[in-house]
Structure 1
Amino acid sequence: MSTRSARTLIIAGLSVLALAACTSNTPEAEENTGGNAAPQGAAAGKNDEPGQKVRIGFSAPAADHGWMGAITKATQAEAKKYPDIELIVAEGTNDVSLQISQVETFINQKVDAIVLLPFDGAALTPVAVKAMEAGITVVNVDREFDSPFAARTTILGDNYGMGRSAGTYVCQQLEGKANSVVAEIAGIDSLPLTQDRSRGFKEALADCGLKVSNRVAAEFTVESGERAAANLLQAAPKIDAIWNHDDDQGVGVMAAIKNSGRKEFFVVGGAGSANVMRDIKAGNSLLKATVIYPSTQGADGVRLARLLVQKKALADLVEVEVPRTIQLYAPVVTKDNVDQYLPTAFES
């Protein structure tokens, strides 16, 4: 691993430690021993104790693929763990106007907080600002708003980090093979998240003297994944490694590969679906790894919204307020560590 790659992974690791703080506030964590005392309720071990009732509105896009469905499911499950949370879930929608209307309804209901994964961050920015101006705590999930005034805290996956992690893994597997052919099956090319993933992948490969020799784009669906992979396999008579951005579209990718009968390469997935992890664990597939894009972001948003409304902090940090931005880590899952990640994986 190059110095630059190592530095990137270390920085990403610090981010995930920050997140772990909001998900590990157990009584055993540590005791408040005096000195610079934390705010009321923020002492370690206190955060999970019942506090004031918190009404949280949650809105996300339609669950039209496994990852998005897992976001909503995990959010609802997390809210049920806390007797002081009342979660109001709006129906998932890819209609921007309808999602804006949902947030307007939350404002009229005078909820304490809104956890919002916008279908379009820019389009939902004005109504999120309106909610904040109404005194409602907004937690922005995954797709960023255009204004820093639209949310108190933002929880992000690491799309660039996904590409870096995938590229670093490919470099490790192809070490010493300077003429290796690396292919990439991206998601929707017009999306910034796809562009970030591709940029991270390209830069990680450059660190070890490799490049993307063949690239196609799909649309995060099974059907588009199968079409894109079939086109790639037809255009590239030799491939050593493929990185597929998304495990949902990867169902189609793997179908196209099976139909081709080709086996000279290995495949790295993206997002971290349970079916891919099971294939990795079984060891009888071309799938050797996948890069996590957490489907826990909405659940983490609910936890943070509760802490913010109850004026608590992350008990494992010295900082006395919840951070403005938390970026989740993008680890590589292999046969060696798959059991660690399977419990929170989503079904494609």
Structure 2
Amino acid sequence: MRAPRPRRHLVVAAGAALAITGLITGCTAGDTGTNTEPTNNSDNEASGDRVVIGFSGPAADHGWLGAINSAAIAEAAKYPDIDLRVAEGTNDANLQISQIETFINDGVDAIVLLPTDGAALTDVAIRAMEAGIPVINVDREFSSTFAARVTVLGDNYGMGVSAGTYICEQFGGTDAVVAEVAGIDSLPLTQDRSRGFADALDDCGLEVNNRVAADFTVAGGEAVTSQLLAAAPHIDALWNHDDDQGIGVLAALDAAGRNEMLMVGGAGSKNAMDAIKADDGVLKATIIYPSTQAADGIRLARLVVQGKSLGDLVEVEVPNRIVLNAPVVTKENVDKYLPTAFAS
């Protein structure tokens, strides 16, 4: 077996459509789960051997996670050769571990897993890999490269960069007051978003003057934004990390009669895009965090098990890491992104 390779930090610049790094070869995780020799096959839509896929994700307690689950199920339904087995969504790491153990015992062909806690689910994912079941890790990373055959991620750092770059384009060279309503501060994804935001602002001489953290819920967004507004009598630009909690952020702004600012959202909900398109309020842009990640995981699991590659690549195996883009949605391009927007 090869020794584990050192983990590299991956930064995807705003504007990149897809980042794909490092193929696993030899005796690493990439060897598990294929039942045929890999071929560079562009006809990936053609039906192949039956593939039993186990899917487990957190409870759909807000719109983005609901869209993750529904998109995965809808994608599997497109392929007659996929038998999808869906575990009940949960925010209990121990229950999710037991779900994966059931998938292992049932001998599924692949597992698509959005872990409620990446570190907590790492060991059971490694056990699946050791059992010859390729794991497709979605959104929240495991703490070992040996826990997944493929990892599909949104670009959290890139979200911050995109938001900060957009605000720099509007206010660069000024002394604008910038505020930030983050998500759950203990999560690495929130930390990455905030770091990307600060880095992008620094490039144009701005900084975050006022910051609060919510919990990705409407109630949480409204409560912390009310606190923020009390502490900041004037704000020029505000970035809210998540469009679900953004409903509460906007409610707090409305209740306080605060409309002096430009607001940028995050994730890409339909209600946010509708408001951007109407262009009659403070919300002028949102940053995409794709709710298609688990659907992508389903398609990739099918390709891995059937020994296929991504049709547009010369490489004959599915990559081991895919990072999706974090574009800025404004009134000028909103129609392009509305079809994949999720309902809050």
Structure 1 residue aligned with 2:339, among 332, 339, 343? 343
Query: 2:216 matched to 1:213?
Result: no
Equivalent residues in 2 for 1:176-325 (5 A)?
Answer: 176=173, 178-325=174-321
Structure 2 residue aligned with 1:108, among 102, 105, 110? 105
1:272–1:345: 8 Å Cα contact kept in structure 2?
yes
Equivalent residues in 2 for 1:115-154 (5 A)?
Answer: 115-154=112-151
Cα deviation for residue 14 of structure 1 reads: 4.4
1:70–1:346: 8 Å Cα contact kept in structure 2?
yes
Other-structure match for 1:15? 19
Cα deviation for residue 15 of structure 1 reads: 1.8
Q: Gaps spanning 5+ residues in structure 2: where?
A: 1-11, 23-36
Cα deviation for residue 13 of structure 1 reads: 3.2
Cα deviation for residue 16 of structure 1 reads: 8.1
Task: State the distance in 2 between where 1:43 and 1:120 align.
Answer: 35
2:57–2:114: 8 Å Cα contact kept in structure 1?
yes
Other-structure match for 2:67? 70
2:63–2:244: 8 Å Cα contact kept in structure 1?
yes
Task: State the distance in 2 between where 1:109 and 1:290 align.
Answer: 42
Other-structure match for 1:164? 161
Amino acid at match of 1:15: A
Structure 1 residue aligned with 2:95, among 94, 98, 108? 98
Other-structure match for 2:50? 53
Task: State the distance in 2 between where 1:54 and 1:14 align.
Answer: 26
Amino acid at match of 1:13: A
Other-structure match for 1:328? 324
Task: State the distance in 1 between where 2:66 and 2:224 align.
Answer: 24
TM-score by length of 2: 0.90
Task: State the distance in 2 between where 1:152 and 1:43 align.
Answer: 19
Instruction: Provide Cα deviations, 1:18-72, integer angstroms capped at 9, x if missing partner.
Output: 9xxxxxxxxxxxxxxxxxxxx665332x111000000000000000000001000
SS in 2 for 1:8: coil
Task: State the distance in 2 between where 1:147 and 1:191 align.
Answer: 17
Cα deviation for residue 17 of structure 1 reads: 12
SS in 1 for 2:135: strand
Task: State the distance in 2 between where 1:247 and 1:287 align.
Answer: 10
Cα deviation for residue 149 of structure 1 reads: 1.1
More helix by percentage? 1
2:14–2:326: 8 Å Cα contact kept in structure 1?
no
Task: State the distance in 2 between where 1:78 and 1:292 align.
Answer: 20
| Number of residue pairs the alignment of both structures matches | 319
Task: State the distance in 2 between where 1:343 and 1:160 align.
Answer: 24
Task: State the distance in 2 between where 1:51 and 1:298 align.
Answer: 21
Query: 2:170 matched to 1:173?
Result: yes
SS in 1 for 2:84: strand
SS in 1 for 2:13: helix
Instruction: Provide Cα deviations, 1:88-116, integer angstroms capped at 9, x if missing partner.
Output: 00000011111011001101111000000
Amino acid at match of 1:237: P
Cα deviation for residue 188 of structure 1 reads: 0.9
- RMSD over aligned Cα atoms: 1.5
TM-score by length of 1: 0.89
Q: 1:17 to 1:330 in 2, by over 3 A?
A: farther
SS in 1 for 2:205: coil
Task: State the distance in 2 between where 1:153 and 1:40 align.
Answer: 15
Cα deviation for residue 148 of structure 1 reads: 1.1
**Structure with bigger RCO (C-alpha 8 Å, 6+ apart):** 2
Cα deviation for residue 302 of structure 1 reads: 0.3
1:16–1:329: 8 Å Cα contact kept in structure 2?
no
1:160–1:197: 8 Å Cα contact kept in structure 2?
yes
Cα deviation for residue 174 of structure 1 reads: 1.3
1:41–1:47: 8 Å Cα contact kept in structure 2?
no
Task: State the distance in 2 between where 1:175 and 1:253 align.
Answer: 24
Amino acid at match of 1:247: D
1:100–1:124: 8 Å Cα contact kept in structure 2?
yes
Task: State the distance in 2 between where 1:8 and 1:116 align.
Answer: 26
2:39–2:316: 8 Å Cα contact kept in structure 1?
no
